[in-house]
Amino acid sequence: MDKRLLTILRCPVSHKGLSLLTKDKLTKINAAIEAGELVNHEGSAVANPMLEALVTDDGKRVYSIDDGIPVLLEDESISMEQLA
């Protein structure tokens, strides 16, 4: 992901900045997805593992990156509170 793009992208809900999710957190999310434990904001089960993702600066919300394109839709976002 282009670092210049990251400086202007914002969470559509909280308007906080976004950064790439670390590999260890991505691994944790993908394990929860595989176990069927994660739902998106809409309430649908997250079925596909993520290769890349963005997280808000406060660490509360995650957005997937599909084929290099950030999916910044509130309904598709994942609350990190589910992993606590």
The 10s digit of each residue's pLDDT in 14-50 is: 999 999 999 999 999 999 999 999 999 999 999 999 9
Contacts of 54 (CB under 8 A, 6+ apart): 1, 6, 9, 18, 19, 20, 21, 62, 63, 65, 70, 72
Burial (CB count <10 Å: 0-12, 13-18, 19+), residue 46: buried
pLDDT at 5: 85
Confidence band of 75 (pLDDT split at 50, 70, 90): very high
